[in-house]
Amino acid sequence: MTTDEVLDGVGPRLRALRKHRGITLAELSTTTGISESTLSRLESGQRRATLELLLPLARTYDVPLDDLVGAPRTGDPRIHLTPIHRFGMTFIPLSRRPGGVQSFKMLIPGRLREPTPQTHDGFEWLYVLNGQLRLVLDDLDLTLPPGEAAEFDTSQPHWLGSADGHAVELLILFDPQGLRTHVRGPGQRA
């Protein structure tokens, strides 16, 4: 695909994204600082996309810049994850979107530790894959076996660790804005 073909696809992609999100040009102009007329010309293909225009749009839509321009995927389908080591635990990022809900696989080593509850902004949802998770949340001291899930406001004092001295493996969805995770049942619509 040529550069011109990639750039020609940006406008329709931006319009479709805005319509799908139910955002007006006026609302988008307010959040990005880009005039309505420039946004309209960009969407209709009368104005070429530039980095100065695409960066605030990517931030507002909370998508990678590659998604806005329709950048072709590389030939290598592997995801190269860089583990994060904090508090004696390993967090493996499973999502690459900046901002919004972030997903991690978390590995807690097999050792018993004294709980040291912490607080921070956000909302967390977790699902235990393997092992016995000890979740201390305010005055609650819970043990979650594989297959159990929990969600909580991270402004509450909380701590995660091994309940039995063996390693624990879990999935975590974390929203720094503090929005709850919603799961819809069959037949329910957004």
Quick check: 105 pLDDT over 60? yes
152: its two tokens:
């909580």
Q: What's the mean pLDDT in 5-15?
A: 83
Please, are residues 52 and 109 in contact by the beta-carbon 8 Å criterion?
no
Give the pLDDT of residue 122.
84
Of all residues in the chain, the percent with pLDDT exceeding 70 is: 84
Q: What's the mean pLDDT in 72-99?
A: 74
Give the pLDDT of residue 190.
47
CA distance 76 to 179: 34
Contacts of 64-73 with CB under 8 Å at 24 or more apart are: 64/96, 64/97, 64/98, 68/10, 68/13, 68/14, 68/17, 69/6, 69/7, 69/9, 69/10, 69/13, 70/6, 70/9, 70/10, 70/13, 71/6, 72/1
CA distance 53 to 41: 12
CA distance 90 to 84: 6
Give the pLDDT of residue 34.
93
Give the number of other Cβ atoms within 10 Å of residue 11's Cβ.
19
Quick check: 106 pLDDT over 50? yes
Angle (deg, nearest 10), helices 51-61 and 10-21: 30
Give the pLDDT of residue 141.
96
Longest alpha-carbon distance in the chain? 63
Condensed to tens digits (0 to 9), the pLDDT of residues 110-159 reads 888 899 999 988 889 999 999 999 999 999 999 999 999 999 998 999 99
